[in-house]
A and B are shown apart, each in its own frame.
Chain A
Amino acid sequence: MREKATTLYLGPQHPGITGNMMVKLKVEGDTIQSASTHVGYLHRGFEKLMERRNWLQSFTILCRICVPEPDPNEENFARAVESIEGREVPERAKWIRAMVLELARIGTYLLWFAGQSGSAGLYTMGQWSIGDRDYILDLFEELTGGRIYHMYIWPGGVRRDLPKGFKDKVLQTMDYLEKRLVQYDKLMFDNTIFQKRAKGIGWIDPAKAIEWGVVGAPLRAAGIASDVRKDDPYEIYDKLDFELGHATTSDVWGRSQVRRFEIEQSINMVRQIMDKMPEGEYYNRIPNPMKWEVPPGEAYVKTESARGEFGFYVVSDGSNKPRRVHVKGPAYVHAVTLLEDLLKGANISDVSFIMNSLGTCPPEIER
């Protein structure tokens, strides 16, 4: 007997992602015929809120746009404002920023390990990598005073200098994580079950990837070497020696390989940064925040976040508040439009698995 198609509502809470997002699935048996994504559960209107906050107040909202990796938001906003204002950033601050961004990337990839393996039923990996991510968060706590929301990179530089002994702690944590990667390999990447789940799943057509707006690890896994850090270096990335992750399979497996490789690269980059970071000032003070007016102008800046190219468009009309802030994040492309396509013909149990491989971050979709 032929089974009738049924509608399945996956979410808004489900294990695939950090945040709330729903996917409406038309399934026959456990095969998806069509999928439509539903967002809006997390909408807080950050872009609009910033139009009602002064420039410094806006800085505290930004980090919430992506909970697992708030720092590219801060860096983007700071750099956009600096570019409109023409404000100089001390050299040391640029190195500190790059360090923060790379630590954030490592932390986010660790969180992604947990989601990717967890949605395949491999829960041990999640416990390990979330636990290890906490060592990164410890570093953030020491540096910025906050574990998740750092509110650290602000226009003009960074908020505080490195605390005493911080460099050693960072290097120790990097050594520890590097050793852990070997164990991760044994548990996850060399694991036949994981490999069988990941290979051939969630295939993105490399020929259409750019047309669709795919960025970040999914694009690099499709064999296209694209990374803002290389293509359009910001802060001090042109002074670092690193390679991009590369794969050609364009599936979940390829994407996981890219991330696995890049976490190693980031560890390496943090070491280079700690080695080369110059002494000096860390902050070029802004005017009185109550009266800080940014001259009229606009700027589009982008960073390579753990999810891919991440852009901020900031407009000032010369007042003490942003006239417009527009956030261009990868999650919107990946998880709202691309996902619908990828899910056609997939198995129900692979929905969360595929979503994870795209680096879906609902709060960023909903900014």
Chain B
Amino acid sequence: MAFFDIKGLVNPLSTLKQFGNKPHTVEYPKKHKETADRYRGLHFNDLEACIGCGNCSTICMNEAIDMIHLDNIEGSEGDSGLRPRVDNGRCCWCALCVEVCPTGSLNMTKQDIFISSDADAFLWTPGVSNPEGKDILSFTSDEKTSLSLFDRVPMPEMEGEERVKSFAETMLYYTEEAAREEASRCISCSLCTEVCPDHMHIPEYINAIARGEDEDSIRIIYDNNPLGEMCGKVCTRRCEDVCALQVRGDAVAIRWLKEYAMSRAETADILKEIVNPDIQPANGKKIGIVGGGPAGLTAGYYLALKGFDVTIFEANEYAGGMVMYGIPKYRLPMDSLNKQIDYMKSIGVKIQFNTKVGKDISFDDIYKNHDAVFVGVGFQKPYNIGIDGEEANGVIPAVSLLFDVNSGKTPDLGHKVVVIGGGNVAIDGARVSRRLGSEVVIMYRRRVEDMPADWEEIEGAEVEAVDIMPQTIPIEIISDENNKVTGIKYLKAEMKADAGGGRPRPVPIEGSEAIMEVSTVIGAIGQEADYSFLSDEYMNKIEINRGRMVVNDQQQTKDPKIFAGGDAVNRTADAISAIADGYRAVKAIEKWLMK
């Protein structure tokens, strides 16, 4: 190349040709460049869909997201009432918050410009600061792209035909590997803890399982629930109904994970070694507990740990109350429950079996010989079905059937059983009847989706070939000359909207009357408490309203020395509420006696 390379000097002048070209740039603010469909702009949060789980705040590596209270948003079950607020001065627009949002409520918009001279304006509550954002959503997550793991690890179960041959457990439960995988889905939002009557430390024990620290998990469970294994098998698990993951997928199997952790302790001795409780020295106070059900056992366990001299008076041969005698063994084997109770006995809880209060010992004796009394008698007395012919032979309340079968009897129900009711007890009655060799029909007034029973129980019944007849109202039980049940007359019903705005009501269809030939009728439409052990004096001292003992928020009745809990007190009437009552009563009794 010569020093004066003419081409090399002229070439650059070709630039001048560009003068005629259209400019590449857009004239902002006259014209705004449209952002891409996936643009990660300012956040938008659907305040209705958001449940305030705080996962966005947890993942934010810039700590740009705070969970705050908003004036018009109230918390509820499954909604913390908090909503994310983004500090746009810290946000780096990575959109990980979008990827981990279990409900899909938090997304990013196309809005790429925000200008303000007010520094506080950059504290931005998505959905409140930009309600118009919902129309310009861009970077979103769906079930495929979301980093939430929506699919539950399947629970191995016994085959349908095998199940009805014995009372062996139908659930085969998680293996170690499956439990770790399932536990790792939890996002630790704690919405479950709020809704659990006992406020168990759910994320904590699930995290321990995910980390592979099962013994830690057991200790965490025992912090406020001494019947963890029982809950792991049969809890009504309201926690799973509010799990953040169930909005778009399957809830974490909280109940089965608890079962997994607890079943690591195979005997009461191992359990004691793991829990290794700190037992306070005896404080000289005596507590009498009426009823060895979940409420009484819980109160007894924690009171014993605190140094109280606890005696539980149990009417039956085994403790556990309705959990022992009302839940079929294919759901909760006797060994499992006895292991938990044996452990309680080993730390000093005294249980007097076969001691029915009111018959073998008077309530008055217990009241006078103890510093405080806890009553946890449960709902044992079944309601009548309330139709003609009910007094015939072969009409059995479900709880009586369950009691007999759990006590080792094998009643003959004949070839065909009809169960009336739609709750868990009805399903239990039906599935037990299948195991006793009968054909089983469940008659329920409303639709299947209205049944109060656990959906997994309903599914279990269907797998075991229980025939569910929804929208069916029994009207008369027919018996032969020996007063033996031979059939049931019923009407079909249609669902009509309730004028008062309540749930739809079943209305009988005229002319739909039919008769089904059956050998046994099992009633499962509810139970009530039996207060016959209380003398009039105590009945007057303790206020009883609509069959339930009235207590304050400390589980204390009108007689300050008497505390109460369990089904006979709370409306939810499930084991975990009973445990919660027992646990609350412990604190109250301690406060009241040790003041």
Q: Which residues of A are at the interface with B, using a C-beta cutoff of 8 A?
A: 53, 56-58, 60-61, 124, 131, 134, 138, 141-146, 149, 151, 159-160, 163, 183, 185-188, 190-193, 195, 285-291
B532 interface residue (CB < 8 Å to A): no
Q: How many angstroms between the C-alpha atoms of A60 and B62 in the bound complex?
A: 10
* With known contacts A134-B24, A186-B12, A142–B145 Cβ distance under 8 A: no
Residues of A within 8 A of B93 (CB): 146, 149
CB nearest neighbor in A for B93? A146
* With known contacts A60-B61, A183-B14, A190-B11, A160–B5 Cβ distance under 8 A: no
Which B residues between 135 and 185 are near A, CB-CB below 8 angstroms?
A: 138-139, 145, 147-149, 184-185
Which DSSP category, helix, strand, loop or mixed, fits chain A's interface? helix
Nearest-neighbour CB distance to chain A for B537, whole angstroms, equals 57
Residues of A within 8 A of B100 (CB): 289-290
Q: For B14, B55, B148, B188, which residue has the most chain A Cβ atoms within 10 angstroms?
A: B14
Quick one: which of B25, B39, B96, B145 contacts A131, CB cutoff 8 A? B25
Nearest-neighbour CB distance to chain B for A133, whole angstroms, equals 11
Q: How many angstroms between the C-alpha atoms of A61 and B207 in the bound complex?
A: 26
Quick one: which of A60, A183, A285 contacts B94, CB cutoff 8 A? A60
Contact check, A291 vs B210: say whether CB atoms are below 8 A apart. Answer: yes
Contact check, B96 vs A190: say whether CB atoms are below 8 A apart. Answer: no
Apart from the given pairs A141-B35, A145-B138, A288-B184, 15 other A-B contacts in the complex at a CB distance below 8 Å: A56-B59, A60-B92, A131-B24, A134-B24, A141-B36, A142-B36, A145-B40, A145-B95, A145-B108, A160-B145, A186-B11, A186-B12, A191-B12, A193-B8, A289-B96
Which B residues between 1 and 60 are near A, CB-CB below 8 angstroms?
A: 1, 5, 7-9, 11-12, 14-15, 24-25, 35-40, 55, 58-59
Q: How many angstroms between the C-alpha atoms of A141 and B38 in the bound complex?
A: 7
Which DSSP category, helix, strand, loop or mixed, fits chain B's interface? loop
CB nearest neighbor in A for B188? A290
B319 interface residue (CB < 8 Å to A): no
Quick one: which of B12, B39, B184 contacts A145, CB cutoff 8 A? B39
* 9 closest residue pairs by CB, A with B: A192-B8, A57-B61, A60-B94, A145-B40, A145-B38, A142-B36, A186-B11, A141-B36, A190-B11
Residues of B within 8 A of A56 (CB): 59, 96, 147
Residues of B within 8 A of A163 (CB): 37-38
7 A-B pairs (CB sep. < 8 Å): A53-B61, A142-B36, A142-B37, A160-B38, A187-B15, A192-B9, A289-B147
Contact check, B15 vs A124: say whether CB atoms are below 8 A apart. Answer: yes
Nearest-neighbour CB distance to chain A for B24, whole angstroms, equals 5
Contact check, A61 vs B61: say whether CB atoms are below 8 A apart. Answer: yes
CB nearest neighbor in A for B183? A291
B349 interface residue (CB < 8 Å to A): no
Contact check, B14 vs A186: say whether CB atoms are below 8 A apart. Answer: yes
Q: How many angstroms between the C-alpha atoms of A75 and B207 in the bound complex?
A: 30
B187 interface residue (CB < 8 Å to A): yes
Contact check, B187 vs A288: say whether CB atoms are below 8 A apart. Answer: yes
B186 interface residue (CB < 8 Å to A): yes
Q: How many angstroms between the C-alpha atoms of A293 and B528 in the bound complex?
A: 51
Residues of B within 8 A of A149 (CB): 92-94
* With known contacts A288-B185, A288-B187, A146–B40 Cβ distance under 8 A: yes
CB nearest neighbor in A for B14? A186
Contact check, B14 vs A286: say whether CB atoms are below 8 A apart. Answer: no
Nearest-neighbour CB distance to chain A for B473, whole angstroms, equals 48
* With known contacts A145-B95, A291-B207, A195–B1 Cβ distance under 8 A: yes
Residues of B within 8 A of A186 (CB): 11-12, 14-15
Q: Which residues of B are at the interface with A, using a C-beta cutoff of 8 A?
A: 1, 5, 7-9, 11-12, 14-15, 24-25, 35-40, 55, 58-59, 61, 92-96, 99-100, 108, 138-139, 145, 147-149, 184-188, 207, 210
Nearest-neighbour CB distance to chain B for A136, whole angstroms, equals 13
Q: How many angstroms between the C-alpha atoms of A290 and B37 in the bound complex?
A: 28
Q: How many angstroms between the C-alpha atoms of A143 and B36 in the bound complex?
A: 9
Residues of A within 8 A of B96 (CB): 56-57, 60, 289
Residues of A within 8 A of B207 (CB): 291
Quick one: which of A138, A160, A183, A190 contacts B7, CB cutoff 8 A? A190
Residues of B within 8 A of A195 (CB): 1, 5, 8
Contact check, B11 vs A191: say whether CB atoms are below 8 A apart. Answer: yes
Residues of A within 8 A of B145 (CB): 159-160
Residues of B within 8 A of A289 (CB): 59, 96, 99-100, 147
Q: For A138, A187, A289, which residue has the most chain B Cβ atoms within 10 angstroms?
A: A289
Contact check, B92 vs A143: say whether CB atoms are below 8 A apart. Answer: no
Contact check, A286 vs B5: say whether CB atoms are below 8 A apart. Answer: no
Quick one: which of B12, B95, B147 contacts A288, CB cutoff 8 A? B147
Contact check, B11 vs A145: say whether CB atoms are below 8 A apart. Answer: no
Contact check, A141 vs B11: say whether CB atoms are below 8 A apart. Answer: no
Residues of A within 8 A of B11 (CB): 185-187, 190-191
Q: How many angstroms between the C-alpha atoms of A286 and B8 in the bound complex?
A: 56
Q: How many angstroms between the C-alpha atoms of A195 and B108 in the bound complex?
A: 48
Nearest-neighbour CB distance to chain B for A281, whole angstroms, equals 10
Residues of B within 8 A of A61 (CB): 61
Nearest-neighbour CB distance to chain B for A168, whole angstroms, equals 15
Nearest-neighbour CB distance to chain A for B209, whole angstroms, equals 11
Nearest-neighbour CB distance to chain B for A184, whole angstroms, equals 11
Residues of B within 8 A of A134 (CB): 24
Nearest-neighbour CB distance to chain B for A283, whole angstroms, equals 8
Residues of A within 8 A of B12 (CB): 186-188, 190-191, 193
Q: How many angstroms between the C-alpha atoms of A290 and B245 in the bound complex?
A: 14
CB nearest neighbor in A for B39? A145
Q: How many angstroms between the C-alpha atoms of A358 and B71 in the bound complex?
A: 57
Residues of A within 8 A of B148 (CB): 288
CB nearest neighbor in A for B146? A285
Contact check, B38 vs A143: say whether CB atoms are below 8 A apart. Answer: yes
CB nearest neighbor in A for B210? A291
Q: How many angstroms between the C-alpha atoms of A192 and B10 in the bound complex?
A: 9
Q: How many angstroms between the C-alpha atoms of A112 and B188 in the bound complex?
A: 47
Residues of B within 8 A of A288 (CB): 147-149, 184-187
Residues of A within 8 A of B24 (CB): 131, 134
CB nearest neighbor in B for A191? B12
Nearest-neighbour CB distance to chain B for A342, whole angstroms, equals 24
Q: How many angstroms between the C-alpha atoms of A146 and B94 in the bound complex?
A: 9
Residues of B within 8 A of A192 (CB): 1, 5, 8-9
Residues of A within 8 A of B185 (CB): 288
Contact check, B14 vs A151: say whether CB atoms are below 8 A apart. Answer: no
Nearest-neighbour CB distance to chain A for B381, whole angstroms, equals 47
Nearest-neighbour CB distance to chain B for A197, whole angstroms, equals 12
Q: How many angstroms between the C-alpha atoms of A58 and B96 in the bound complex?
A: 11
Q: How many angstroms between the C-alpha atoms of A141 and B148 in the bound complex?
A: 25
Residues of A within 8 A of B94 (CB): 60, 149, 151
Quick one: which of B1, B39, B99 contacts A141, CB cutoff 8 A? B39
Nearest-neighbour CB distance to chain B for A46, whole angstroms, equals 12
CB nearest neighbor in A for B17? A183
Q: How many angstroms between the C-alpha atoms of A60 and B35 in the bound complex?
A: 21
Q: How many angstroms between the C-alpha atoms of A285 and B24 in the bound complex?
A: 39
Q: How many angstroms between the C-alpha atoms of A103 and B46 in the bound complex?
A: 36
Q: How many angstroms between the C-alpha atoms of A310 and B92 in the bound complex?
A: 24
Nearest-neighbour CB distance to chain A for B231, whole angstroms, equals 23
Nearest-neighbour CB distance to chain B for A350, whole angstroms, equals 20
Q: For B39, B61, B138, which residue has the most chain A Cβ atoms within 10 angstroms?
A: B61
CB nearest neighbor in B for A291? B184
Q: For A56, A195, A286, A291, which residue has the most chain B Cβ atoms within 10 angstroms?
A: A291
